[in-house]
Amino acid sequence: MELLKVTPFYSLPPTTRHINVQRKAFILHIRHSFTYKSYLFVSGTSAFAAQSNYIINTNDVRFTRIRFNEGNDYNATTGVFTCRIPGIYWFSATLSGNSGWYCYFLLNRVHKLYIAFPGGNWDIGSVSEVFRLSHGDRVQVGHCSSPGNIRSDSANSFSGVLVKADG
């Protein structure tokens, strides 16, 4: 999956706003293979999308080019998303590289889901997951097995969005 763009709800023409919202909202445009979908999110004000990557010496990945960072919950210096608003979040990561390596989604430094590249040269792997997060929880991509095999280019991305706030 690839995050294509995020459109703030208030920037849409009035004829495309079919609901009355009191809080911030935005539309997430996603491409999965050759299918394009858009999702309207109205429950929170936490979302980010970052591209390209740099491997930190701890085998963690930083995505340094921020495309969108509503709420400033993603830190490009550390590569870590820190939960400010408790609730249900959707995350996606895409990495490209040479074969025979893997990286993990980490929740508070614990392995939760991995992206694997079992064979072929310069494959692209993508993974998405939903997490229920509490205030202060941290999500990142890391603990990569062979960081030298990961390409450092704009094909790599990490994004997340608050789907539903607790309460």
pTM of model > 0.75: no
Reported as type and span, the H/E element at residue 90 is strand 87-97
**Residue 32 pLDDT:** 53
* Number of structural domains in the chain: 1
Domain hosting 54: range is 2-165
- DSSP annotation of 148 reads G
Q: Tens digit of pLDDT for each residue in 50-107? A: 988 777 666 888 999 998 898 999 999 999 999 999 999 999 998 887 777 788 999 9
**Residue 97 pLDDT:** 78
CATH number (domain holding residue 78): 2.60.120.40
| Whole-angstrom distance, CA of residue 66 vs CA of residue 83 | 17
Tell the burial category of 91 from Cβ atoms under 10 Å away from its Cβ (0-12, 13-18, 19+): buried
pLDDT band at 137 (very low <50, low <70, confident <90, very high): very high
**Residue 37 pLDDT:** 57
Q: Tens digit of pLDDT for each residue in 12-64? A: 444 443 333 334 555 555 555 555 555 555 445 788 889 887 776 668 889 99
HSE-up of 83 (CA within 13 Å, CB side)?
23
Tell me which amino acid residue 126 is: S
